């Protein structure tokens, strides 16, 4: 009964906190790492899930892209310590119910996005130079929102930078850097930790109950992985937490995991969980989600001191590959995480045509943005301009692929295919009209053979463009028709390639994602859909001089899914008043 009261209290606290944050001005923001193979949302609350931001998606450490394989439900930083009055306090960016770090309402406290090599004048990090292909920088503290129930601020400021790379071998992890600074009072015996609510599996099952939890005492690394089989299948990758704490004084580590009913729910219990120095035995056979506390310390922190912590979320195609990535990060750290980079992303233009597209990517006059002229100071060889060529990719699924290589053009040297750079244009024919395709043009470099570092390629997401082939609208009505006709509910249109129906607002296809299409519409017209009895079901206004179609999701004016039957339609040309009737069939 006591645990139930605690849970109810936490829920009420969460509702109160949301009202509190809404009543006070705070500039909540989020960004999504998506240039590499890991899709990870970060917030300026210090969380690894959406927290209280308006992030609309469901991405929680997805790897590989488009796999729907998630790894973390929640994650965040914990800071525990002893206050001057002797209280043991813990401030958390995230746990099951608490968010205690917030940005201010200043414009500078939005998340800054900085590309590799660019310099940003961030108020709390002047002259910040981008480390990776996608750096996000933010700032938050535990004392901006002052009336959070059951929270005593330690007056801690955290500056966070997260980095993601777009090319192998550095595209399967996200690096986080933290600057932790006491602002008003010294903190004695401080411990720094990470809290993870794991969910390693396929998001569509909504049932990850079989996570295994392990601790590597040599690398001081936590591994959270999926047990074989189970409702969520067999996950491709674990998620590993690799940490580089301050080396002086030598830290003591703590690793623990908890069930819902015995989570440390107040500051003294949380501090005890962080500072015990106990490494729990690996959990290798318990069917449950993970609630992990992983921490290190102690450190004595005076006002204005800065403790630097680096942490990486590491993934891979299998546990061995993920561990190799974690080991590779040690090499990267010796180079201060500065590794050879891909060329700048090409500037791409795309032109839709009937059943085809035309791509062009002429190098810009600005030499700093020209892929063929870029200079990479982090290479270990003597090649000053390491550009090698361009690749053209196509996808029918989405901007995150999967991608098919369609063409490749490179300079003539000793690296195949030696096609030469005789063209900066590409045509694709044989596509379907009025459906989405995705194209990307990337630039890639020569490998750095001195350190055995592979060729680097710009991210497809950096240049991915959506295009819909089709014809221009006809002059008037007369040739409008519906596809598919009949529409059959027993056909999985979302499994077509390219998909005829795509999920909107969710990863799973839903009833409202059904689609028929009215084709050959004039520039300005109105579509009305009726039952056989003459009742108006839906009305669509079409105003587009470039696109001659409209989609309808088979729902009525009041948002109800329509039933099987024969339906009538009229299309009225709003310019000349001509009307074309027609009909279609729905079979569910």
Same domain, 303 and 362: no
Contacts of 101 (CB under 8 A, 6+ apart): 45, 46, 77, 91, 92, 93, 140, 141, 142, 158
Same domain, 54 and 177: yes
> Is 339 within a domain?
no
Token pair for 202:
């396929």
Q: Write down how long the chain is.
A: 588
Token pair for 196:
């993870």
Residue 384 burial by Cβ neighbours in a 10 Å radius (0-12, 13-18, 19+): exposed
Over residues 438-493, the pLDDT tens digits come to: 999 999 999 999 999 999 999 998 889 999 999 999 999 999 999 999 999 999 99
Over residues 113-132, the pLDDT tens digits come to: 999 999 999 999 999 999 99
CA-nearest of 286, 232, 291 to 256 is: 291
Give the pLDDT confidence score for residue 506 in this predicted structure: 57
d(CA 345, CA 365): 14
Distances (CA, A) of 360 to 114, 331, 426, 441, 459: 27, 39, 6, 9, 17
Segment 139-161 mean pLDDT: 93
Give the pLDDT confidence score for residue 11 in this predicted structure: 41
Same domain, 325 and 362: no
Q: Is the pLDDT at 298 greater than 90, yes or no?
A: yes
> Is 473 within a domain?
no
- Tokens 């966070």 belong to 160
CB 404: neighbour CB atoms within 10 A?
10
Q: Is the pLDDT at 225 greater than 80, yes or no?
A: yes
Confirm if 235 and 314 have CB atoms less than 8 A apart. Answer: no
> Is 528 within a domain?
yes
pLDDT tier, 261 (very low <50, low <70, confident <90, very high otherwise): confident
**Number of structural domains in the chain:** 3
Which domain, by its residues, includes 537? 481-587
Segment 301-322 mean pLDDT: 97
> Is 33 within a domain?
yes
Over residues 84-100, the pLDDT tens digits come to: 999 999 999 999 888 99
Same domain, 366 and 316: no
> Is 476 within a domain?
no
Contacts of 380 (CB under 8 A, 6+ apart): 340, 448, 450, 451, 453
Segment 213-223 mean pLDDT: 96
What are residue 448's DSSP bridge partners? 453
pTM of the model: 0.84
Give the pLDDT confidence score for residue 9 in this predicted structure: 41
- What is the CATH classification number for the domain harbouring 259? 2.70.98
Contacts of 510 (CB under 8 A, 6+ apart): 503
């Amino acid at each position: 009964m006591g645990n139930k009261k605690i849970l109810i209290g936490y829920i009420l606290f969460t509702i109160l906190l949301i009202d509190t944050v809404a009543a006070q001005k705070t500039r909540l923001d989020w960004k999504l790492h998506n240039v590499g193979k890991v899709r990870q949302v970060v917030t300026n609350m210090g969380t690894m899930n959406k927290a209280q931001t308006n992030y609309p998606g469901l991405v929680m450490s997805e790897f590989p892209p488009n796999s729907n394989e998630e790894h973390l439900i929640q994650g965040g930083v914990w800071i525990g310590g002893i206050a001057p009055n002797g209280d043991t306090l813990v401030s958390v960016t995230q746990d099951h119910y608490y968010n205690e770090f917030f940005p201010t309402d200043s414009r500078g406290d939005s998340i800054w996005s900085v590309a590799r090599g660019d310099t940003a004048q961030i108020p709390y990090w002047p002259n910040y130079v981008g480390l990776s292909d996608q750096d996000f920088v933010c700032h938050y503290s535990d004392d901006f929102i002052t009336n959070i129930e059951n929270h005593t601020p330690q007056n801690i400021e955290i500056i966070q930078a997260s980095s993601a790379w777009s090319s192998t071998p550095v595209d399967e992890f996200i690096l986080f850097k933290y600057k932790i600074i006491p602002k008003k009072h010294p903190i004695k015996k401080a411990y720094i930790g990470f809290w993870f609510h794991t969910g390693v599996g396929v998001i569509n099952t909504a049932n990850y109950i079989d996570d295994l939890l392990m601790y590597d005492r040599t690398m001081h690394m936590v591994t959270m992985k999926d047990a074989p089989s189970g409702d969520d299948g067999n996950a491709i990758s674990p998620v590993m937490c690799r940490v580089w704490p301050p080396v002086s004084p030598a830290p003591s580590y703590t690793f623990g995991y908890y069930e819902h009913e015995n989570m440390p729910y107040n500051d003294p219990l949380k501090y005890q969980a962080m500072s015990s120095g106990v490494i729990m035995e690996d959990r290798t056979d318990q069917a449950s989600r993970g609630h992990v506390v992983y921490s290190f310390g102690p450190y004595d922190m005076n006002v204005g001191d800065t403790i630097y912590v680096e942490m990486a979320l590491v993934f891979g195609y299998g546990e061995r590959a993920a561990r190799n990535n974690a080991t590779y990060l040690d090499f990267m750290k010796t180079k201060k995480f500065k590794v050879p980079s891909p060329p700048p992303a090409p500037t791409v233009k795309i032109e839709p045509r009937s059943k085809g597209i035309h791509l062009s990517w002429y190098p810009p006059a600005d030499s700093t943005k020209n892929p063929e002229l870029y200079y990479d100071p982090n290479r270990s060889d003597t090649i000053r301009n390491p550009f090698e060529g361009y690749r053209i990719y196509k996808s029918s699924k989405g901007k995150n692929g999967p991608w098919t290589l369609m063409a490749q053009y490179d300079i003539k040297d000793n690296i195949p295919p030696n096609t030469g750079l005789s063209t900066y244009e590409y045509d694709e024919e044989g596509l379907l009209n009025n459906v989405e395709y995705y194209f990307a043009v990337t630039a890639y470099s020569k490998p750095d053979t001195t350190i055995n570092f592979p060729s680097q390629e710009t991210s497809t997401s950096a240049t991915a463009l959506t295009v819909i082939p089709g014809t221009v609208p006809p002059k008037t009505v007369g040739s409008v028709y519906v596809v598919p006709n009949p529409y059959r509910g027993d056909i999985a249109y979302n499994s077509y390639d390219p998909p005829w129906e795509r999920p909107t607002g969710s990863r799973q296809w839903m009833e409202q994602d059904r689609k028929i299409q009215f084709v050959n519409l004039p520039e300005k017209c109105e579509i009305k859909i009726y039952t056989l009895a003459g009742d108006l079901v839906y009305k669509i206004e079409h105003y587009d001089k470039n696109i001659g179609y409209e989609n309808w999701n088979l729902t009525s004016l009041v948002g109800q899914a329509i039933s099987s039957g024969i339906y009538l339609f009229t299309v009225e040309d709003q310019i000349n008043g001509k009307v074309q009737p027609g009909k279609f069939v729905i079979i569910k």
